[in-house]
């Protein structure tokens, strides 16, 4: 891999890095995380949409670090909850939320609802910012499913043990990373991102090169 091309992923989440690195590898891009930048800032996610939050995280961190930064904002939108938890997915059950407490609260709020009223979709919005804070590239995609009545499987993170793909009759927690890498909101948004970034790199091969 040509390690002269680097992008900083605006998160400390190593699982997200692993998912995205596999998709960016064909372009010869090394994906780092904020863990490798002790001076990274904490960007306040106070936007009212996935787009606003992703763009804010990418552009503000890029200017601070002087690096190319890729940020994504994603979450779960549940029909019966009028789109909640949405942009608040990570802290659905409070500021000290964990995956377990978020899943517990979701099950509690949907208790007694039949399958046909448990529709939901994941959303992922991706923004790439240049070191000057310009949003160069943005993509967004969704993955539709429904919320199971109880947890199934141990793969993934977040709401994956509850997010059921009807066509497979299995949750992301059961399907595992290979299938999730094809179907998920993040995978689909990233594939579009990779395609568009590839086009930019063909026009300007030095676009992401380290100075």
Neighbours of 100 (CB within 10 A): 11
Asked if residue 152 belongs to a known ligand binding site, the reply is no
Residue 199's SS3 state is helix
Asked if residue 159 belongs to a known ligand binding site, the reply is yes
Asked if residue 66 belongs to a known ligand binding site, the reply is no
Asked if residue 103 belongs to a known ligand binding site, the reply is no
Asked if residue 157 belongs to a known ligand binding site, the reply is yes
Asked if residue 15 belongs to a known ligand binding site, the reply is yes
Residue 146's SS3 state is strand
Q: Give every strand in the sheet of 135-147, ordered side by side.
A: 29-33, 5-9, 69-78, 119-129, 135-147, 163-165, 170-171
**Residue 104 annotated to the active site:** no
Asked if residue 19 belongs to a known ligand binding site, the reply is no
Asked if residue 73 belongs to a known ligand binding site, the reply is yes
Asked if residue 37 belongs to a known ligand binding site, the reply is no
Residue of 2, 39, 46, 73 with catalytic role:
73
Q: Which residues contact 204 (CB under 8 A, 6 or more apart)?
A: none
Do 144 and 77 contact (CB within 8 A), yes or no?
A: no
Asked if residue 180 belongs to a known ligand binding site, the reply is yes
Burial of 114 (0-12, 13-18, 19+ CB in 10 A): exposed
Asked if residue 108 belongs to a known ligand binding site, the reply is no
CA distance 191 to 172: 19
What separation in angstroms does the CA of 51 have from each of 72, 120, 141? Answer: 8, 19, 11
Asked if residue 14 belongs to a known ligand binding site, the reply is yes
Residues at the binding site for substrate are: 11-16, 74, 157-160, 180, 185-186
Q: Which residues are annotated as a binding site?
A: 11-16, 44, 73-74, 157-160, 180, 185-186
Catalytic (active-site) positions: 73
Residue ranges at the known binding site for Mg(2+): 44, 73
């Amino acid at each position: 891999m040509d390690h002269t091309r680097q992008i900083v992923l605006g998160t400390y989440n190593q699982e997200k890095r692993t998912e995205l690195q596999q998709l960016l590898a064909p372009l010869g891009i090394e994906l780092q995380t904020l863990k490798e930048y002790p001076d990274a800032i904490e960007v306040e996610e106070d936007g009212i949409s996935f787009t606003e939050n992703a763009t804010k995280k990418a552009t503000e961190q890029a200017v601070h670090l002087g690096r190319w930064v890729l940020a994504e904002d994603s979450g779960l939108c549940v029909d019966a909850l009028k789109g909640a938890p949405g942009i608040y997915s990570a802290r659905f059950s409070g500021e000290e939320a964990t995956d377990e407490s978020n899943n517990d609260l979701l099950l509690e709020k949907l208790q007694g609802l039949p399958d046909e009223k448990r529709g939901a979709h994941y959303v992922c919005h991706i923004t790439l910012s240049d070191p000057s804070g310009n949003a160069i590239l943005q993509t967004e995609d969704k993955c539709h499913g429904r919320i199971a009545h109880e947890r199934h499987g141990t793969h993934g993170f977040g709401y994956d043990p509850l997010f059921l793909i009807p066509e497979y009759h299995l949750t992301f927690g059961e399907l595992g990373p290979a299938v999730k890498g094809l179907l998920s909101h993040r995978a689909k948004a990233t594939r579009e991102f990779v395609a568009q970034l590839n086009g930019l790199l063909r026009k300007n091969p030095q676009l992401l090169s380290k100075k």
